[in-house]
C-alpha cells in the first residue's frame, strides 16, 4: 500500500493525458491527521522548478495537509505562468479539501521548459479527480502516477513497534546528490513534533538519497517529503524511528539505483579506513563520477587503475601508494600496487561491489552508482523527442 500503509493517509493516482502513454500521471496524498506535521528537503540546485519554490514557502511552518504530484512535465523554467500553475494547483486542492492553499505541497517531474494552458488544465483536472478518488488503498496507484522513465514503481514499508513508515519514490536518471532527480513521499503514523520530523528526515536522506550518484547530474525538481499523521498515538523511540527511516530511504534509493536509465551494473562503492566521513564520501563520489571507471565496468573490465586515478583527484587524507582496492570480493590492488590477477574478478553479475581501504582512519561511507552504457546515451540523446 506504499504511502497509505500507515494510518491516517489516503491517496490516489489518475490519468489525465500528461503522458502520451495514457498511464496515471497525477497523484494526490492526503494526511487525515490528527497531526499535520511535515518535513521536507529539496534540491540544492540553484535552478529550481516552480513547485520547489512553492513548496519551500509551504514548509516554513512545518504544517502540510496534502501533496499533489504530477509527471509528464517538470514545470521548470516556465516563468510566471508556471508559478501561477503551481499556485492554482495548490488552491484547487485546498478548495476541495477545505484547507489552506499554504498547506499544500506541489511536486512535478518531466521535461524542463515546457508548459502551456493544456498542461495547466490537465494538472488541475488531475488534482480534482485525484481528490475525488482518494482512498486508504490508493497508495499503489499514486506510486504509478509519479513515474516518468521509471520501468517499475518504487515503494517501501516498515512496521515499527505500534507505528509504521510508508514510502514511494520515482527516479531513473539525473541521479546525483542534492537528492538525485527524484520525488519521494514518506508517511508515518508515529507521533512526532516538527523539529523531530525534520531532524530524522535530514539524518536519513544524508546517508541514503544523498549517497546515490548514478550519473553526476543534479535535477531542478528534487523533493523528499515526510508527512506525519500521529494516527497510531504512539511516540516512538527516537533512535528506533531514525533507524527505520534510514532503512526505508535506503531501500528506496537502491530501488532507484537498480532502475537507472540504461544501466547494466549496479555499483556499490564502499570506502573505509578514512580519516573523516566527509573524506570517505568525497573519495567514493570521485569514483562514482569517473566516466572511464564506469565505462570499464560496463565492459566487464576490472581496471582498478582507474579507481586510484579517480581518488587521486580528491583532497581527502590518504597516501595513494598505501591504498587497497577490492572488486567483487577480489583484492586487485594492495599498497598502491597489483595484487590478485584481474582474471579472478567476475564482473558479469549486475550487482558490482568496489571496496576501497584508505588505511588512515576509522571512518567509512557507501556511494551507490551505475555503469555508463550505450543505452544510457541513447535514451538521453532522444529524451525530448
Q: Mind telling me the catalytic residues?
A: 181
Element (H, E) at 166: strand 164-170
Burial classification of residue 17, based on how many CB atoms lie within 10 Å of its CB (0-12 exposed, 13-18 middle, 19 or more buried): middle
- Whether the Cβ atoms of residue 168 and residue 2 lie closer than 8 Å to each other: yes
Length of the chain: 385
Shortest CA distance to 154 belongs to which of 248, 252, 12, 72? 252
- Kind and range of the H or E element at 11? strand 9-14
DSSP 8-class letter at 92: H
Write phi, then psi, for 75 (nearest 5 degrees). Answer: 50, 50
Query: For the chain, what is the radius of gyration of the CA atoms?
Result: 21
Residues 135 and 343: their CA atoms lie apart, in Å, by: 55
- The four Cα atoms 317, 318, 320, 324 give a dihedral, to 10 degrees, of -140
DSSP 55-83: HHHHGGGSB-SEEEEEESB---S-HHHHH
Partners of residue 67 on adjacent β-strands: 29, 105
| DSSP string covering 102-147 | GGEEEEEES-TT---HHHHHHHHHHHHHHHHT-BTTTHHHHHHHT-
d(CA 111, CA 74): 5
Amino acid at each position: 500500500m506504499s504511502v497509505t500503509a500507515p494510518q491516517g493517509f489516503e491517496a490516489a493516482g489518475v490519468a489525465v493525458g500528461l503522458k502520451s502513454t495514457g498511464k496515471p500521471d497525477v497523484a494526490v496524498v492526503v494526511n487525515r491527521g490528527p497531526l499535520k506535521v511535515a518535513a521536507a528537503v529539496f534540491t540544492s540546485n540553484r535552478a529550481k522548478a516552480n513547485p520547489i519554490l512553492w513548496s519551500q514557502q509551504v514548509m516554513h511552518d512545518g504544517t502540510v495537509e496534502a501533496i499533489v504530484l504530477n509527471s509528464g512535465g517538470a514545470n521548470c523554467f516556465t516563468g510566471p505562468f508556471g508559478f501561477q500553475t503551481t499556485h492554482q494547483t495548490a488552491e484547487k486542492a485546498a478548495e476541495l479539501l477545505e484547507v489552506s492553499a499554504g498547506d499544500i505541497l506541489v511536486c512535478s517531474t518531466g521535461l524542463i521548459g515546457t508548459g502551456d494552458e493544456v498542461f495547466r488544465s490537465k494538472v488541475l483536472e488531475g488534482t480534482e479527480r485525484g481528490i475525488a478518488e482518494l482512498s486508504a488503498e490508493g497508495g499503489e496507484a499514486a506510486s504509478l502516477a509519479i513515474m516518468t522513465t521509471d520501468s517499475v514503481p518504487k515503494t517501501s514499508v516498515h512496521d515499527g513497534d505500534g507505528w509504521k513508515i510508508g514510502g514511494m519514490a520515482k527516479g531513473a536518471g539525473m541521479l546525483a546528490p542534492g537528492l538525485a532527480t527524484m520525488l519521494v513521499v514518506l508517511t508515518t503514523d508515529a507521533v512526532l513534533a516538527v523539529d523531530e520530523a525534520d531532524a530524522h528526515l535530514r539524518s536519513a536522506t544524508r546517508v541514503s538519497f544523498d549517497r546515490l550518484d548514478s550519473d553526476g547530474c543534479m535535477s531542478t525538481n528534487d523533493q523528499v517529503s515526510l508527512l506525519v499523521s500521529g494516527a497510531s498515538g504512539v511516540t516512538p523511540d527516537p533512535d528506533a524511528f531514525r533507524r527505520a527511516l534510514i532503512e526505508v530511504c535506503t531501500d528506496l534509493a537502491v530501488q532507484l539505483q537498480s532502475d537507472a536509465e540504461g544501466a547494466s551494473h549496479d555499483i556499490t562503492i564502499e570506502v573505509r579506513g578514512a580519516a573523516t566521513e566527509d573524506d570517505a564520501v568525497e573519495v567514493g563520489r570521485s569514483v562514482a563520477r569517473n566516466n572511464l571507471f564506469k565505462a570499464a565496468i560496463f565492459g566487464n573490465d576490472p581496471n582498478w587503475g582507474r579507481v586510484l586515478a579517480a581518488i587521486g583527484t580528491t583532497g581527502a587524507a590518504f597516501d595513494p601508494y598505501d591504498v587497497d582496492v577490492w572488486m567483487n570480493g577480489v583484492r586487485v590492488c594492495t599498497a598502491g600496487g597489483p595484487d590478485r590477477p584481474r582474471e579472478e574478478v567476475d564482473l558479469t553479475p549486475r550487482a558490482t561491489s568496489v571496496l576501497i581501504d584508505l588505511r588512515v582512519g576509522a571512518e567509512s561511507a557507501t556511494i551507490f552508482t551505475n555503469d555508463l552504457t550505450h543505452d544510457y546515451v541513447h535514451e538521453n540523446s532522444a529524451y525530448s523527442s
